[in-house]
Chain A
Amino acid sequence: MTDNPNSAPQEVTVLLQAWTQGDESALAKLTPLIYEEMRRLARHYMARERASPTLETGAILNEAFLRLVHWKNARWQNRSHFYGLAAQMMRRVLVDHARSRGYSKRGSGMRPVALDEAVVVSPERSSDMVALDEALVRLASVDERKSNVVELRFFGGLSVEETAEVLNVSPFTVARDWTLAKAWLQRELSGKESVE
């Protein structure tokens, strides 16, 4: 992989736009960029865990996420619109990633993937992520806004205020939706190990 996240902000926004217009190959091009960020984060945790296990990670994630997509430089008329798309994309990529982790143990055939894309991961929690994604689809059929709140908060890493801005509702509503959605999903997934 030759893409360097620092050199590709324009590309990211273009790809993200292309994806929203139905170009699936754009997502395939975006995925390595997100993987790169994820690896950077993973390395960060590896390096920092001992020194400061309680290090505030929400801030790190936002930084990583924003660095990835360089939204400040992007020509997005609507920041909210962008957040919404980015969270959707993150959900797709992360769930696919978790799913592939789950499968990689079983598959033994040659896979045409460059080595440095080979993220060193475990399937332990991957099933939870996939199960959560499926539960989220069911939640959407009951109450779509709550599913959106989870998508933005959990997959997009947005704060309550940012989520409220994207969904054009009050932060109070987002907080209530978040509480109920978590309980609903928790109940739906009960019996399974929780996603941290």
Chain B
Amino acid sequence: MSSPRWQKVEELFHAVLEREPGARAAYLNEVCNGDSDLRRDVESLIAAADPKSEFLARPAMEVEARAMSREPTGTLSGRQFAHYVMGPLLGAGGMAEVYRARDMHLDREVAIKVLPGYSSLDTVGFGRFKREARLLASVTHPNVAAVYGFEQVGNVCALVMELIEGETLSDRIGRKRPSIDEALVIAGQIAAAVEAAHSKEIIHRDLKPSNIRLTTDGTVKVLDFGIAKMLQPMEDSEIRRETDQTTFSTQAATIVGTVAYMSPEQARGQKVGRPTDIWAWGCVLFEMLAGSRPFEGTVWTDMIARIASEDPDWAKLPPTTPTSVRLLLEDCLQKDSARRLRDIGEARRRIDNTQAKSGTSTAAAPATEIALSVRSARTLFLFIQGGFVAMYTAALYYVDRLEPQMSQIVIVTAMMGIAVRLFLISSVALSHSEAGRKFNKLFPLLLLFDGAWAASPLLASPPIRFGVALAGAAALAYLPFSQRTLMQRIYGR
């Protein structure tokens, strides 16, 4: 672009801008005099010159500083923070980021939650942060992600927490909806965690499936108790006085996580308390059972309107949901917090009772990764046993067609087989509590029977085709093991 040409562009640019928008095109036509390149150049500049544009409206330092204040990322990875070596970023929310880290003193892996909002704290604010951290650290419960402590280096404050590996409940629900039994086991453990926190006057405030992790050994861990309060101190009037000088950005914190689990009182900005967590717990249980949240909406204002005024779609719950669980959900999802279930401990007890009635127990059933419900495992087990009884009976019926030596073996194994199977059928059908243990004792015997049974055709003369016999043996040898798997599913190990 030559200099005289640029001067011409500049001159025209200002001249055109001075004219009314309606008169600009005619003016340009006139002055460009057929020079379409010039015309296009000036036109595109005019189009880009929006006086209301925010472009470059704020100084660079402010743009950079605002970006810093708003959107954290894993810049601490690979650095040392106090006696922790920061590993990869595990997750970042609007106002906090979580890193995997190694504690060099205790030589263990931890999770560190950096709270950038706290870097601005004065001594009063930091004192409050310390008090909160101390309170959170006082909760020790197997279902609560432990808070080990807090660290401050320079103006970065961080909470040191137990590192929990395993998928989040939200991923789990997305992958495959839990069965009713599984959902109850998980909900029971969540309730136990919330109960432990409530006993220390700690309200979670942001209970939702993405804050709940399922570890590989089947333990449910609830994360981030009280973190929402640390990030959003304005809710509490006592806190408001204290931190008048240090309020926090709430762009991210006001709409904490998803609105979907927010209680009506939270949505209205009223005081939150235990009922808030009970509501959220109800939402989580509903979601596990139904596979979708009780209150859905495409925009959050919609969702809040539904939370405030509509009943959840109870028809979304599976038809086999026990009545006791339906009633419990109705109690938890009462709009009026005064009419809601009083105590999360009661929710846990009601869950326990439901499980006891359906013949399962919290302790026995592994919480995750179970494809088959206890009920269907039992049905299948009984079906297999019935099949064996039918097979033995048929063998006895046709026994006179066999050779004498062969028929004796068949009679003995079939009679004993029928006896063992009938015993198993009766104890499992009647939910005998010792059935699982007895089965384990009988297991070698079962192996022997089924093995002998499979081998018997080989003794027949003339022998039936050898291949068929081998295949049958393989199938029968497998059966005792599959029966054992089913028994373990029903009764635990």
Are A and B co-members of a single complex?
yes
CA–CA, A119 to B70, complex, Å?
A: 12
Q: Which of B50, B62, B119, B250 contacts A49 (CB 8 A)?
A: B250
Q: Does A124 contact B (CB under 8 A)?
A: yes
B63 touches A121 (CB 8 A): no
B59 touches A61 (CB 8 A): yes
A49 touches B249 (CB 8 A): yes
A143 touches B6 (CB 8 A): yes
Q: Which of B74-82, B365-373, B458-466, B472-480 contacts A (4 or more CB under 8 A)?
A: B74-82
Contacts of A104 in B (CB 8 A): 73-75
The chain A residue with its CB closest to the CB of B67 is A125
Q: Which of B41-49, B131-139, B212-220, B280-288 contacts A (4 or more CB under 8 A)?
A: B41-49
Could you jot down 20 A-B contacts, CB within 8 Å?
A1-B154, A39-B119, A47-B245, A50-B249, A58-B59, A61-B59, A90-B60, A94-B60, A104-B75, A110-B78, A121-B64, A121-B71, A143-B10, A154-B60, A180-B10, A185-B55, A186-B55, A187-B48, A196-B57, A196-B66
B: residues with CB less than 8 A from A are: 1, 6, 10, 13-14, 17, 44-50, 53-81, 88, 97, 114, 116-117, 119-120, 153-156, 234, 245-251
A: residues with CB less than 8 A from B are: 1, 37-39, 41-51, 57-58, 60-61, 64-65, 90-91, 94, 97-98, 101, 104-105, 108-111, 113-116, 118-126, 129, 142-143, 150, 153-157, 176, 179-180, 182-187, 190, 194-196
Q: Which of A49, A64, A155, A196 contacts B69 (CB 8 A)?
A: A49
CA–CA, A104 to B79, complex, Å?
A: 12
Contacts of B73 in A (CB 8 A): 101, 104-105, 120-123
B79 touches A194 (CB 8 A): no
A142 touches B249 (CB 8 A): no
The chain A residue with its CB closest to the CB of B63 is A196
Question: Taking chain A's interface residues, is the majority helix, strand, or loop, or is none over half, making it mixed?
Answer: helix
Contacts of B97 in A (CB 8 A): 120
Q: Which of B56, B60, B66 contacts A182 (CB 8 A)?
A: B56
A129 touches B48 (CB 8 A): no
Contacts of A196 in B (CB 8 A): 54-55, 57-58, 63, 66
Question: Taking chain B's interface residues, is the majority helix, strand, or loop, or is none over half, making it mixed?
Answer: mixed
Contacts of A179 in B (CB 8 A): 14, 17, 49
Contacts of A126 in B (CB 8 A): 67
Chain A proximity of B232: nearest CB distance (Å)? 10
Q: Which of A46, A110, A115, A143 contacts B156 (CB 8 A)?
A: A115
Q: Which of B45, B57, B64 contacts A98 (CB 8 A)?
A: B64
Q: Which of A42, A118, A156 contacts B65 (CB 8 A)?
A: A42
CA–CA, A94 to B114, complex, Å?
A: 24
Chain B proximity of A187: nearest CB distance (Å)? 4
Question: Which of B61, B69, B246, B248 has its CB near the most chain A CB atoms (within 10 A)?
Answer: B61
Q: Which of B50, B69, B81 contacts A46 (CB 8 A)?
A: B69
The chain B residue with its CB closest to the CB of A111 is B78
B79 touches A111 (CB 8 A): yes
Chain B proximity of A107: nearest CB distance (Å)? 8
Closest 9 CB pairs of A and B: A116-B154, A122-B71, A43-B120, A183-B49, A41-B65, A157-B59, A42-B68, A42-B69, A186-B48
Decide: A119 near B10, CB < 8 A? Known: A39-B68, A46-B117: no
Q: Which of A38, A44, A110, A176 contacts B64 (CB 8 A)?
A: A38
Q: Which of A46, A57, A65, A180 contacts B120 (CB 8 A)?
A: A46
Contacts of B46 in A (CB 8 A): 183
Question: Which of B17, B45, B80 has its CB near the most chain A CB atoms (within 10 A)?
Answer: B45
The chain A residue with its CB closest to the CB of B82 is A115
Decide: A38 near B68, CB < 8 A? Known: A50-B248, A176-B14: yes
CA–CA, A128 to B53, complex, Å?
A: 16
B63 touches A129 (CB 8 A): yes
Chain A proximity of B266: nearest CB distance (Å)? 17
Contacts of B65 in A (CB 8 A): 38-39, 41-42, 44-45
Contacts of B60 in A (CB 8 A): 90-91, 94, 129, 154-155, 157
Chain A proximity of B408: nearest CB distance (Å)? 74
A118 touches B76 (CB 8 A): yes
Contacts of B117 in A (CB 8 A): 46
Q: Which of A1, A46, A51, A184 contacts B116 (CB 8 A)?
A: A46
Question: Which of B77, B80, B88 has its CB near the most chain A CB atoms (within 10 A)?
Answer: B77
The chain B residue with its CB closest to the CB of A157 is B59
Question: Which of B10, B47, B65, B88 has its CB near the most chain A CB atoms (within 10 A)?
Answer: B65
Decide: A184 near B154, CB < 8 A? Known: A90-B61, A105-B73, A155-B60: no
